[in-house]
Amino acid sequence: MIVPHSERRVALAARLADRGVLTDPAWRRVVESVPRHAFLPDTVWSLDVDAGDGTLAPVPRSHPDRSQWAYDDVSVITQVDDGAPALPDGRGERATSSASQPSLVVAMLQALDATDGMDVLEIGTATGYNCALLCERLGPEHVTSVEIDPTLARQAQSNLAAAGYEPWLVVGDGTEGVPGRAPFDRVLATVAARDIPGAWISQTRPGGVVVTPWATGFATTALLRLVVAEGGVAHGRVVGDAPFMWLRDQRVPSGQWRDFVDEQAPGAVGYRTTVDPMPVCDADPSGGLALTVGALVPHLNTALYRAADDSGEATVYLFDRRGSWALVEYVPGDADLEAHRFGPRDLCAEIDHARRAWEAAGSPAREHLGISVTATGERRLWVEEPGNLLPGVPGGPGTGGARPHVTCWS
Ligand SMILES: C[S@@+](CC[C@H](N)C(=O)[O-])C[C@H]1O[C@@H](n2cnc3c(N)ncnc32)[C@H](O)[C@@H]1O
């Protein structure tokens, strides 16, 4: 039996409501009204299960499962490799655009707390579906959306027009916001930021809200809800998880640790360290330690090889994909470990500093941590309240240069 699309979107809204995700009646009506299938392009992409190597294969419109996806609670990949599939047989390496998972879309819209008459900026138009939801709820005249990829932006414009919405669409770099349409009451990023752009703060009215996925690359990508205070600083907390692709210019170079660690490199230095890397390597990715380390030690990645015997020994790699790495031969109970390092950063010292700062603050769980971001994109991490700052890593972010500690803003 063919179920009409209108019934499927009502069923999707009901499923999200039953799961306790969709709680706001106004947003429920919106999910029931906007046809998600109409925003999916002819070709979408899914993991190539046969290849088993994480590559992405195109799924044509004729595929039997495809019509299901529009109203299942799944994200649908709509572009790979910025529109030019990287592999010679037409498969892709990296998802670069998608229609986000409906439960996440709804959670973010509810966190945004946008009500009648508010002006909203969305970063990452992609298919236009989320933009259509905003238009349906607030009226297109209150919605601005920016997409960096011109082909996607054109497609979104045509999808939105076909569905009857004409918001203000911009092709450009959303990290700059849309100054010509500012100020906004709400900014919603549907793409992950490693460094939250200052423009999102400066273009939001005092009392306004910025909701964005925050991806340090080390901790689980967190959903941040920041409230902009008078004076142009925004403060907020993690309100959930939000796995999203990175802003285009904040992506990490892809590859395994082997692509970034050359143990034979002539400049590599052998030394002994008292830093135990295991608490950081074993940290719960959704916990407070991982968030602190991710925030204070930018671009940190780890790889860990445990000994096959029951000695507990392990080889640990710390690397930043930008020319610095450390290797530690971990031996349980040994306070003086063999190590090697290469590059300008001392990653062992950095993770040690971050872990000590977190422990000195009482080892707070993620929900007790908060973040402040200025209109110039400077970032501070705090515990319980914005004045209670965690000291940044010397020379790292949040220290204003080489100072070992930060002072509190007034
Ligand atoms: C997960 S998709 C957004 C989903 C979308 N809101 C929807 O409903 O379909 C992320 C989008 O952000 C876009 N993007 C990445 N970097 C950007 C940037 N700097 N400025 C604007 N858009 C960007 C990508 O091209 C991609 O289309």
Domain boundary pick from 229, 247, 265:
247
Task: Specify if 139 maps to a domain.
Answer: yes
Q: 121 with 87, same domain? A: no
- Do 52 and 148 fall within a single domain? no
**Same-domain status, 172 and 276:** no
Can you give the CATH number for the domain in which 145 is found?
A: 3.40.50.150
pLDDT the model gives residue 50: 83
- Same domain (yes/no): 175, 222: yes
Residue 31 included in any domain: no
Reduced to 3 states, what is the DSSP secondary structure of residue 1? coil
Residue 183 sits in the same domain as residue 79: no
Closest approach atom of ligand 1 to CA 191: 10
* CB contact at 8 A, 380 and 372: yes
Q: Indicate if ligand 1 lies below 6 Å from the C-beta of 146.
A: yes
Q: Whose CA is nearest to atom 20 of ligand 1?
A: 174
Which atom of ligand 1 is least distant from the CA of 39?
A: 9
Question: Residue 395 has what pLDDT?
Answer: 66
Ligand 1 pocket member 190 (CB < 6 A)? yes
The predicted structure's pLDDT at residue 406: 25
Please tell me the predicted confidence (pLDDT) of residue 2: 75
Based on the fold, state whether residues 80 and 122 are members of the same structural domain.
Answer: no
One domain for residues 124 and 226: yes
Same domain for 93 and 76? yes
Is 218 within 8 Å of 280 (Cβ atoms)? no
**Domain containing residue 299: CATH number:** 3.30.160
* Domain hosting residue 302, numbered range: 256-358
**Closest listed residue to residue 77, CA positions, set 195, 85, 219, 64:** 85
Q: Is residue 236 located within the same domain as residue 300? A: no
- Asked whether 133 lines ligand 1 (CB < 6 A), one says no
Q: Please give the model's pTM, rounded to 2 decimal places.
A: 0.94
* Residue at 22 is within a domain: no
Residue 376 lies in a domain: no
Output the CA 243–ligand 1 centroid distance in Å: 13
The answer to the question of residue 293 being in a domain is yes
- Does residue 138 share a domain with residue 115? yes
> H-helix or E-strand containing 215?
none
The answer as to whether 7 is a domain residue is no
With respect to residue 280, please indicate whether it lies within any of the assigned structural domains. Answer: yes
The CA 236 to ligand 1 mean position distance, Å, reads: 23
Q: Give the bridge partners for 209, in sequence order.
A: 186, 227
Report whether residue 248 contacts ligand 1, using a CB cutoff of 6 Å: yes
At a CB cut-off of 8 Å and minimum separation 6, what does 21 contact? 103, 106, 107
**Count of structural domains within the chain:** 3
Between the CA of 123 and the centroid of ligand 1 the distance, in Å, is 6
Task: Identify whether residues 78 and 136 lie together within a single domain.
Answer: no
CA 125 to centroid of ligand 1, rounded, Å: 5
Q: Determine whether the shortest distance from the Cβ of 34 to ligand 1 is under 6 A.
A: no
Among 53, 69, 99, the domain boundary falls at: 99
Taking alpha carbons only, the member of 97, 302, 328, 98 closest to residue 219 is 302
Beta strands in 215-323 (DSSP E): 222-228, 233-241, 269-273, 301-306, 314-319
Residue ranges of the chain with pLDDT lower than 50? 399-410
Residue 9 inside a domain? The answer is no
Residues carrying an active site annotation: 100
Which of 204, 148, 209 lies closest to 179, judged by CA? Answer: 204
pLDDT of residue 397: 58
Using the 3D structure, point to which of 333, 358, 383 is the last residue of a domain.
358
Helices (H) and strands (E) in the chain, counts: 10, 18
Residue 130 Cβ < 6 Å to ligand 1: yes
If asked whether residues 188 and 108 sit together in one domain, one would say: yes
| Amino acid 391: pLDDT | 86
